[in-house]
Amino acid sequence: MIVRRNFLRLAAGFLFASLSTTSYAVGVEPMLRMKTVTYRPRLPNWPDGLRLRLVLLADFHACDPWMSAARIASIAEKANSLQGDMVLLLGDFLSGMRLCTGHVPPEDWAAALSGLSAPLGVHAILGNHDWADDHEAMARGKGPLLAQRALEGIGVPVYDNRAVSFEKDGHRFWLAGLGDQIGPLRPMDDLPGTLAQVSDDAPVILMAHEPDIFPGVPARVAITLSGHTHGGQIRLFGRSPFVPSRFGSRYIRGHIIEGGRHLIVSAGLGMSGIPVRFGAPPEIVVVELGGDAAA
Ligand SMILES: [Fe+2]
């Protein structure tokens, strides 16, 4: 009798722990534990006197109830409060997750993002899910993509292998954005063609949805900004069972310096595959360039 009672207690405890962990990973961490992470990289050859504050939003994966239009609007409000000079949207607006209660139409998530504002504007690239989960574009084998039309409809330019120059504090700089590296019909990125548009020595900030491009990015680029990995989305004992990168965990998230070249990877905001985040909370990333401190 005592053995049976102990077994039932143990089973109940195990069940409670399992349910608690599951509800944390499904409901609490992905929905309630959003962080703001700030990086202050000290970049070689960055012009003295050019201070630039960038707010990065990556991997929304809009779908109810995990990333509703209302939640996207509240993230936009938070992003505005961070007072960036620019807001950069790093792709994967769409979601193909089956474990959703509803689809968020592109015009709805775009309307939620239309509240974003920054003195030097809001700028976007697209990700692999903006192709893979746009079934009409996939069937046609070409764009324009739903996500691109939705963003352009709210006045947000989409950088598809394009570089544009800006000026701040009396200094020029370039913002460049790549087409998606996966496609998934075929790779859409053209790094040489994008950098060929850079017509002077001013620093280049490169938006690339997947960080896998980084080993091939020349030192001419001051910094590369990526998302896509979700920080692994699930981390157990310091490891992620699956990272969508051919380099494994090398570019999973954070500030990476290789050969004097700088990469920042956001853990993103939403989820793909399964509606779980564990040990990889959603984040808004702030990048401060040209300040005094290094991070
Ligand atoms: Fe992605």
| CATH number of the domain that residue 53 is part of | 3.60.21.10
pLDDT tens per residue across all 295 residues of the chain: 555 556 445 444 444 455 566 765 666 666 668 999 999 999 998 999 999 999 999 999 999 999 999 999 999 999 999 999 999 999 999 998 888 888 899 999 999 999 999 999 999 999 999 999 999 999 999 989 999 999 999 999 999 999 999 999 999 999 999 999 998 889 999 999 999 999 999 999 999 999 999 999 999 999 999 999 999 999 888 888 899 999 999 999 999 999 999 999 999 999 988 888 888 899 999 999 997 644 4
Could you tell me if residue 239 is inside a domain? Answer: yes
For ligand 1, the distance from its centroid to the CA atom of residue 93, given in whole angstroms, is 9
- What CA–CA distance (Å, rounded) separates 130 from 237? 32
For ligand 1, the distance from its centroid to the CA atom of residue 108, given in whole angstroms, is 20
Could you tell me if residue 294 is inside a domain? Answer: no
46 shares a domain with 27 = no
Looking at residue 213, what is its pLDDT?
98
237 shares a domain with 105 = yes
Looking at residue 126, what is its pLDDT?
98
Rounded to two decimals, the pTM is: 0.90
With contact defined as beta carbons under 8 Å apart, do 53 and 83 qualify?
yes
125 shares a domain with 243 = yes
For ligand 1, the distance from its centroid to the CA atom of residue 102, given in whole angstroms, is 20
For ligand 1, the distance from its centroid to the CA atom of residue 149, given in whole angstroms, is 19
The total number of structural domains in the chain stands at 2
157 shares a domain with 264 = yes
59 shares a domain with 150 = yes
DSSP per-residue letters across 129-191:
HHHHT-HHHHHHTS---HHHHHHHHTT--B-SSEEEEEEETTEEEEEEEPPPSS-SSS----H
109 shares a domain with 80 = yes
Domain of 148, in residue numbers: 36-289
232 shares a domain with 252 = yes
For ligand 1, the distance from its centroid to the CA atom of residue 95, given in whole angstroms, is 10
Which protein residues have their CB within 5 A of the ion that is ligand 1? 92, 127-128, 228
63 shares a domain with 10 = no
Could you tell me if residue 216 is inside a domain? Answer: yes
Q: What value, to the nearest 5°, has the Cα angle with vertex 242 and ends 237 and 243? A: 105
For ligand 1, the distance from its centroid to the CA atom of residue 49, given in whole angstroms, is 34
- What CA–CA distance (Å, rounded) separates 205 from 224? 6
Could you tell me if residue 48 is inside a domain? Answer: yes
Looking at residue 91, what is its pLDDT?
98
Looking at residue 10, what is its pLDDT?
46
Looking at residue 31, what is its pLDDT?
67
124 shares a domain with 8 = no
For ligand 1, the distance from its centroid to the CA atom of residue 293, given in whole angstroms, is 31
165 shares a domain with 29 = no
Looking at residue 122, what is its pLDDT?
98
157 shares a domain with 16 = no
99 shares a domain with 19 = no
Could you tell me if residue 295 is inside a domain? Answer: no
